[in-house]
Structure 1
């Protein structure tokens, strides 16, 4: 004969089971909520870091280097000439004025220059003009090649595009050496100094002669400095 189950005991047993189930569900809910919050915080943090990384990413600035243009090469063109007049050549006024126009501006030249052409009057101290001589002075070689090789265009004149013709006076002594180098017509201090330097350093000439005797002779020579690109 089966003992009758007490409804009161059965209710208490169910109540105990329900309480356990409720506690399990509560713990599960709390644990799930905690996991969710932790995951959410981590997601938000990662999202923020990711956002900062993307928004503030530095884009490298590329800049093309400008090529520095080299200045155009400058060719130095030096034109030189020495006008020589033979004794049997008739001089016109333009030749005389162009080459020896300083004579009209000076006084007392009769004591320095023999302009008469008198062959009996050969004085060691007289400075002769070229066309009055029996034998004119001669440069030993090509004078233009000498200037092209030895003239150095002054840097200041190059930078300032200075060019022009410098007229140089000089005396060829009885031994062919060069003396009394002066500037007759100036262009600039730089070009004047270079023209004077190169003329002063010229090698000895074959001296001019009067009555087969070496004499002092004065020349005036234009030296043209020209820049061409």
Structure 2
């Protein structure tokens, strides 16, 4: 490697002297050029570098040696370890027994006589109550337990039924189902027209339109859950709601809707039209 480097450096030096010497020379006298010894310094540096690298590769560090266990080492008997148990003793304080004073002792007499229960010959119905017999052979009657009231689950109102609810007033007439429906609608319209008042704000501003009030007709014919479903301006919705609320306040019972042969709660929508008369 050293010989190869020296030959390579010599070729570069020769080439350098022939072609590019005048670019690097700092004096006109070639004998005084300080760069002429550059190749020698480069060889010396490479030599010492190689020597240092060689020494580093040959350098060894003494450390702890690893031993290898042979099979014979396992055959040696390992002495058993003796377990020494340490017992700690604590002083146990004896709890003094309470001394009973004569006045704290209560004597209980043993009752040898057993109370015998005798069956009554007379028959008592369950509705009259339960009969108990005491030690003195006296009897008393316990009142029957009150019946547990049955809680009915609230039914969800339906939107349509086989027979829709209708306003009362036409039941005494001998009419068909269709005639009853028409008669009930006329009676409802007459009730609304007789109690409704055109709001002043709506009349002054010429507001017209249809308000829809929704409520629930329960199984007993009462109406609840009154709400404005569609409203127009001018307090028309509040006025229509007031008239429907008046039915509830007057306790007017509707004919409830029927589904499957029984009364059911039904959602009912009532349109109320507000229209000004043209003079």
Between structures 1 and 2, the one with greater strand share: 1
TM-score (norm 1): 0.43
TM-score (norm 2): 0.36
Larger Rg: 2
RCO higher in structure (CA 8 A, sep ≥6):
1
